[in-house]
């Protein structure tokens, strides 16, 4: 039942219920009307027949005992006076049987009627269905007057009348009821559909509003009409939406405050750090003249201050991303040259450390500064955490083209991407760490609380790649070693070569 219900929509169920109600009421009305009308039709025919038959019989006169020939004549005369339909008249007296029909004894008259006619001093009738046809059988005992009372003569007259016309009328009523019910149900379909619509429209509005809220438009509200249950539902929905909007607003504000705080803190730290960096440079230069212990301390301070400066810079960078203040300044560049420049400027040129596979002629629209940060972070990470040699590969791929790592040079506009791979030869990244590798301040090795980097390098890399509309993912290569793959769509960029 419930599965059946689940398959049938609300509209169908409403319409079906409506039609069912219409059918039941139409059927009940028709049935009751029919019964009443049938009773009336039959009663009218019966009453007319019984009273007119009695009136006709009362015109008879006969000697007693009744004689056959006169009785036969009188029966024949009676037979012509049937009302409302022609009837066949039978007379029974003692062993005398006379009729106006072909047979002297009727096959329709029941023994019960005969018994009743002889036992009761009154007329009686019975409807009989014989061979599928309905008949009205009437029995009227004849009495004679004796003083103040009447006495039975022993003569009983029967009339047998077909009720075919009444049957036809009754059947016609059934047909009329049936023919009326079908158009009636068709007419009922119109209000049923309207009613279903009026119920379903608020439901549809509600569904749209819920979907709209799911898509993030928290200011969605439903127009409340009327005061029925659906209006209550809409009102509740609106109230919930207000609550939700308020809560989400508060959360966003709190998050924004927290980010602003981080941004402000790093800003405030920057100026004193700049001063400190200047001082530590001077101290570094003078360290050679200091006592060894003091020199070591000075160098430590200098190194930590440098790290602190990097951390503050990274924090500011990531704050800009959070505030959506980071802007892309694209320029059409030769990607291989850009990467080489990055490596050279950081003195990563030792072939034992770094192997490159950078085909010339791949041009793309990139923000050179941000791409430089991406490559520097990935290669720096690889050199720090993995082991040499680090391999940097560059290629283009077509979207929807096979598995990654199957390079295929294309000259096709648009549907291509720039793929940059940085792989090291270290032990790789543990599987449980991989999903978190791009999170801020995530430490791959819990024991190693201090790292050379700020802990924001990969997060910044991710944000920069995203800004280009691309993706970056970390995996382990087939022969061990971490592989970072950056994919950037070649928006309007061409590969020439």
Partner 1 sequence: MKRPSTAVGRAVAACVTAAALLTGCGVQQTDVIEAGGPATIGVFPAPENRMVLFFLSPQGRPTPVMRRVGTNLDPKGGADYPPAGAGPVDRGKVVAALFAGPWANEREAGLHTELPPQLNGPVGITATSGKLILRLPLAVRPLKAAAVRQVVCTVAFAGGDGGAEVTIMGPDGTLPAAHC
Contact criterion met (CB below 8 Å) for 365 and 493: yes
Binds partner 1 (CB under 8 A): choice among 11, 37, 38, 81:
38
321 binds partner 1 (CB under 8 A): no
Measured CA to CA, the distance from residue 139 to residue 329 in angstroms comes to 116
225 binds partner 1 (CB under 8 A): no
Interface of this chain with partner 1, residues 64 to 123, rule: CB under 8 A: 64-67, 93-96, 110, 112-113, 116, 118, 120-123
54 binds partner 1 (CB under 8 A): yes
Interface of this chain with partner 1, residues 169 to 208, rule: CB under 8 A: 170-171, 174, 177-178
Residue 162 tokens read as: 């077909």
Contact criterion met (CB below 8 Å) for 340 and 314: no
For 225, residues 6+ apart whose C-beta sits below 8 A from its C-beta are: 202, 231, 234
Taking contact as CB under 8 A, which single stretch among the options 21-29, 204-212, 401-409, 478-486 is the one that binds partner 1? 21-29
35 binds partner 1 (CB under 8 A): yes
Nearest to 358 by CA among 373, 377, 379: 379
* Cβ-based nearer residue to partner 1, 63 or 351: 63
The residue behind tokens 């049923």 is 192
Interface of this chain with partner 1, residues 118 to 157, rule: CB under 8 A: 118, 120-129, 134, 138, 140-155, 157
Contact criterion met (CB below 8 Å) for 457 and 377: yes
296 binds partner 1 (CB under 8 A): no
Give the total of residues touching partner 1 (CB under 8 A). 76
* Cβ-based nearer residue to partner 1, 149 or 329: 149
Contact criterion met (CB below 8 Å) for 336 and 371: no
348 binds partner 1 (CB under 8 A): no
* Cβ-based nearer residue to partner 1, 80 or 152: 152
Q: Is 99 helix (H, G, I), strand (E, B) or coil?
A: strand
Nearest to 319 by CA among 440, 487, 438, 435: 440
11 binds partner 1 (CB under 8 A): no
Taking contact as CB under 8 A, which single stretch among the options 43-51, 327-335, 346-354, 399-407 is the one that binds partner 1? 43-51
The H-or-E segment that residue 92 falls in is strand 88-93
167 binds partner 1 (CB under 8 A): yes
Measured CA to CA, the distance from residue 227 to residue 231 in angstroms comes to 5
* Cβ-based nearer residue to partner 1, 126 or 398: 126
371 binds partner 1 (CB under 8 A): no
What's CA 302's distance to the chain center, in Å? 65
60 binds partner 1 (CB under 8 A): yes
* Cβ-based nearer residue to partner 1, 177 or 326: 177
Measured CA to CA, the distance from residue 394 to residue 392 in angstroms comes to 7
The residue behind tokens 């019960």 is 112
Taking contact as CB under 8 A, which single stretch among the options 61-69, 275-283, 302-310, 405-413 is the one that binds partner 1? 61-69
């Amino acid at each position: 039942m419930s599965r059946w219900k689940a398959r049938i929509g609300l509209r169908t169920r409403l319409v079906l219920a409506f039609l069912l109600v219409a059918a039941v009421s139409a059927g009940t009305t028709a049935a009751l009307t029919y019964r009443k009308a049938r009773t009336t039709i039959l009663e009218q025919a019966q009453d007319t027949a019984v009273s007119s038959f009695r009136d006709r019989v009362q015109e008879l006169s006969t000697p007693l005992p009744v004689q056959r020939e006169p009785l036969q004549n009188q029966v024949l005369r009676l037979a012509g006076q049937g009302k409302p339909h022609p009837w066949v008249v039978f007379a029974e007296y003692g062993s005398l049987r006379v009729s106006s029909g072909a047979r002297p004894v009727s096959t329709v008259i029941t023994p019960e009627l005969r018994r009743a006619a002889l036992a009761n001093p009154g007329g009686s009738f019975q409807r009989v269905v014989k061979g599928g046809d309905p008949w009205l059988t009437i029995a009227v005992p004849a009495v004679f007057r004796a003083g103040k009372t009447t006495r039975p003569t022993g003569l009983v007259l029967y009339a047998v009348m077909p009720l075919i016309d009444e049957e036809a009328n009754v059947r016609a009523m059934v047909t009329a009821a049936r023919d009326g019910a079908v158009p009636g149900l068709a007419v009922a379909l119109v209000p049923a559909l309207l009613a279903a619509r009026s119920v379903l429209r608020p439901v549809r509005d509600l569904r749209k509003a819920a979907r709209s809220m799911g898509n993030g438009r928290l200011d969605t509200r439903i127009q409340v009409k009327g005061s029925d249950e659906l209006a209550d539902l809409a009102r509740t929905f609106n109230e919930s939406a207000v609550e939700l909007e308020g809560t989400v607003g508060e959360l966003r504000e709190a998050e924004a405050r927290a980010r602003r705080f981080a941004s402000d803190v790093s800003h405030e730290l920057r100026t004193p750090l700049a001063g400190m960096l200047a001082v530590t440079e001077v101290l570094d230069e003078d360290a050679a003249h200091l006592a060894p212990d003091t020199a070591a301390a000075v160098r430590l301070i200098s190194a930590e201050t440098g790290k602190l400066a990097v951390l503050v810079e990274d924090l500011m960078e990531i704050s800009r991303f959070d505030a959506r203040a980071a802007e892309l300044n694209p320029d059409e560049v030769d990607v291989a040259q850009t990467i080489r420049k990055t490596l050279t400027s950081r003195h990563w040129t030792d072939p034992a450390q770094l192997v490159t596979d950078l085909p010339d002629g791949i041009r793309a629209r990139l923000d050179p500064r941000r791409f430089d940060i991406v490559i520097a972070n990935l290669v720096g990470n690889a050199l720090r955490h993995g082991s040499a040699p680090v391999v940097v590969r560059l290629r283009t791929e077509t979207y929807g083209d096979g598995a990654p790592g199957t390079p295929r040079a294309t000259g096709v506009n648009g549907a291509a991407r720039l793929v940059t791979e940085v792989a090291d030869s270290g032990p790789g990244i543990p599987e449980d760490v991989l999903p978190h590798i791009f999170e801020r301040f995530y430490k791959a090795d819990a024991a190693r609380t201090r790292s050379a980097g700020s802990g924001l390098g990969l997060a910044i890399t991710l944000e920069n790649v995203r800004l280009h509309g691309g993706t970056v993912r970390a995996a382990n290569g087939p022969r061990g070693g971490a592989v970072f793959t950056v994919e950037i769509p070649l928006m309007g960029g061409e590969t020439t070569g």
